Amino acid sequence: MNNNKITALQKNIFAKGESASGGKEVDLFLITGINNIFYLTGFTGSSAVLLVTKKDAVFFTDFRYKEQSAREVTLDCRKASSAKIVIVKNSLWTEITSHSIFKGVKKVGFEYSIDYSTYEYLKTKLKGRKLTPLRNKIEDFRIIKNDYEIATITKAVEIADTVFSSITHLIKPGISEEEIAVEFEYQIRKNGGSGISFQTIVASGPNAALPHAIAGSRKIKTGDTVVFDCGAIYKRYCSDMTRTLIIGKNPLAEKVYKIVLEAQETAIKAIKPGVSLKKIDTIARNIITKAGYGKYFGHSLGHGIGLDVHEPPKSSPKSEDYAKPGMIFSVEPGIYLPGKLGVRIEDLVLVTDKGVKILTKSNKCAHL
């Protein structure tokens, strides 16, 4: 699945005459984000650091991952003959900062997400070199999914769809939010997922008005809306979907549900290559605003997904991203009425050459 990703990164970051993020050129990029390291090398362990220069790449991990890294890691850089895996013997960062790859390096780029203690350490150890934070350098590559990634995310979506339809019969008066979440999470593992992509949200009644409530001890009652927001992980890739169910009769919930559904479906229909994700957000937001609920839709319309459950691009009033073939992101408008109810409907969509494909297959009927 590697596809010369380090080489592509080298071409982008160290291109002649081109500067790295913010116009600050770097000679070496120090990569610490474990999902970025997986993306670039194929390594599935939990501890590693990757250094990339214009031509070279060195991968550091410790003894625990000696066998695994030998099996998994591909360093497909421009000068593949000198790329290597280093198994550190003592302190990871001492061995990294004293490695010969730093010879002649004056400007070191590091990932913006690095922790502060590591940054402090680097500042001391790499004294005399300029340290530059680089934001979303690898995430920007990850925005466009290749065929393998599309197939893997589609499988993660399928697993969540299958499990959701197999447990919806449990969602009835008397069962607690937690019990539903636990069953969902167990079934995800039983159905081939390696885990859940985030803590499952089962939010009922007034809890449904909290967009990021987690499942608690509240028992479902007649007249509730139940917001069920869930995702599976398959081969490290995430899925994310939300369905809202109305338990019994609730005229206000029916009304709100229709508005959210119209906003969601209209926004999805407008997605095609070249359309701005700000515009997609506006389309959904206008429908909700015109219906009188604008101030009850306080979050962005959608987010990219892949190795992380939230990653670029973003579909929001401030988004500067444009839809491109290979992007996968969520479309998830919602209306939240404090103390009363909440409704959110979320699908993952794939931008295709001609338009859009909805990956999430669970039906959008509010009643069981």
Judged by the rule CB under 5 A, the positions of this chain that interact with Zn ion are 229, 240, 242, 330, 346
Minimum Å distance from CB 326 to Zn ion?
Answer: 19
| Helix, coil or strand: residue 247 | coil
Encoded tokens for 55: 């031509």
Minimum Å distance from CB 92 to Zn ion?
Answer: 34
| Helix, coil or strand: residue 368 | coil
DSSP code for 73: -
Amino acid at 74: T
Enclosing H/E stretch for 61: strand 57-62
**Judged by CB, which is closer to Zn ion: 109, or 193?**
193
Closest CA to 157 of 238, 61, 47: 238
- The strand order across the sheet containing 347-351 reads 311-315, 302-304, 328-331, 347-351, 356-358
Whether 32 contacts 118, CB under 8 Å: yes
Minimum Å distance from CB 348 to Zn ion?
Answer: 8
**Judged by CB, which is closer to Zn ion: 41, or 315?**
315
Minimum Å distance from CB 95 to Zn ion?
Answer: 39
Minimum Å distance from CB 319 to Zn ion?
Answer: 15
**Judged by CB, which is closer to Zn ion: 74, or 244?**
244
Helices (runs of H) and strands (runs of E) counted in the chain? 10, 19
Burial class (CB in 10 A: 0-12, 13-18, 19+), 219: middle
* C-alpha 120, offset from chain centre: 28
**Judged by CB, which is closer to Zn ion: 111, or 346?**
346
Encoded tokens for 245: 């169910």
**Judged by CB, which is closer to Zn ion: 7, or 152?**
152
| Helix, coil or strand: residue 271 | coil
Minimum Å distance from CB 346 to Zn ion?
Answer: 5
**Judged by CB, which is closer to Zn ion: 33, or 333?**
333
Beta-carbon count within 10 A of 352 CB: 16
Beta-carbon count within 10 A of 166 CB: 14
**CA trace torsion 258, 155, 301, 225 (10° rounding):** 40
**Judged by CB, which is closer to Zn ion: 205, or 304?**
304
